[in-house]
């Protein structure tokens, strides 16, 4: 039962986790908007979520441990720490080697924040559903 409860919330909670992680990366980009040679980083949210949910591992996603013997431990795969972080390709690169474009970063950050709030709303409605089911009224 506990497992299915976990599964019931898993998608949204992983999404929230990844959103929080992405906001950290985007905040790094904005913080380093004036740092020479800093390269802006981000990750593909869809791919990261699929990888976190253990879905399409074959097409990218987190790094997998290769097991050559059945006795080997599987290692920690999936998880939100394994999002494929990539460098952003700048539209207008600056001469000091910095690739942060503030408008892009801020737009992405706001978008990320709004989607985070949306996910929160979904999770809280899921929790409400669970409460209704528990009370049975």
Partner 1 sequence: MSLSHVFDIAGSALTAQSQRLNAVASNLANADSAASSNGQPYRAKQVVFTAVPLGRNAMGNDPTAMSGQGMGVRVTSVIDDPAPPRMVYDPKSPLADAKGYVTMPNVNVVEEMTNMISASRAYQMNMDMMNTAKNLLIKTLALGQ
CB of 70 to partner 1, least distance (A): 24
Nearer CB in complex with partner 1: 46/117:
117
Residues binding partner 1: what is the number (CB under 8 A)? Answer: 34
Binding of residue 83 to partner 1 (CB under 8 A)? yes
Contact stretch for partner 1 (CB under 8 A) within 53-61, 66-74, 120-128: 120-128
Cβ(8)–Cβ(71) under 8 Å?
no
Helix pair 2-31, 102-135: axis angle to 10 deg: 160
> Residue 107 CA to chain centroid, in angstroms?
17
Helix, coil or strand: residue 5? helix
CB of 58 to partner 1, least distance (A): 19
> In terms of residues, how long is the chain?
137
Binding of residue 11 to partner 1 (CB under 8 A)? no
Nearer CB in complex with partner 1: 43/70:
43
Tokens 């080697």: give the residue. 97
β-pairing verdict for 85-87 and 41-43? antiparallel
**Closest of 41, 79, 84 to residue 60, by C-alpha:** 84
Q: Select the residue interacting with partner 1 from 5, 56, 60, 63 (CB under 8 A).
A: 63
Q: Select the residue interacting with partner 1 from 5, 6, 35, 46 (CB under 8 A).
A: 35
Q: What are phi and psi of 41, to 5 degrees?
A: -125, 155
Binding-site ranges for partner 1 (CB under 8 A): 16-17, 20-21, 23-25, 27-28, 30-36, 38, 41, 43, 63, 81, 83, 85, 102, 106, 109-110, 113, 116-117, 120, 123-124, 127
């Amino acid at each position: 039962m506990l497992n299915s409860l976990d599964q019931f919330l898993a998608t949204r909670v992983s999404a929230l986790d990844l959103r929080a992680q992405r906001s950290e990366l985007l905040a790094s980009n904005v913080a380093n908007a004036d740092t020479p040679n800093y390269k802006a980083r981000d990750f593909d949210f869809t791919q990261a979520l699929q990888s976190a949910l253990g879905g399409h591992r074959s097409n990218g996603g987190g790094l997998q441990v290769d097991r050559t013997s059945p006795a080997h431990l599987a290692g920690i795969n999936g998880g939100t720490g394994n999002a494929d972080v990539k460098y952003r390709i700048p539209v207008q690169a600056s001469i000091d080697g910095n690739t942060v474009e503030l408008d892009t970063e801020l737009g992405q950050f706001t978008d990320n924040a709004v989607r985070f709030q949306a996910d929160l709303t979904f999770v809280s409605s899921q929790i409400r559903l669970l409460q209704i089911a528990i009370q049975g009224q």
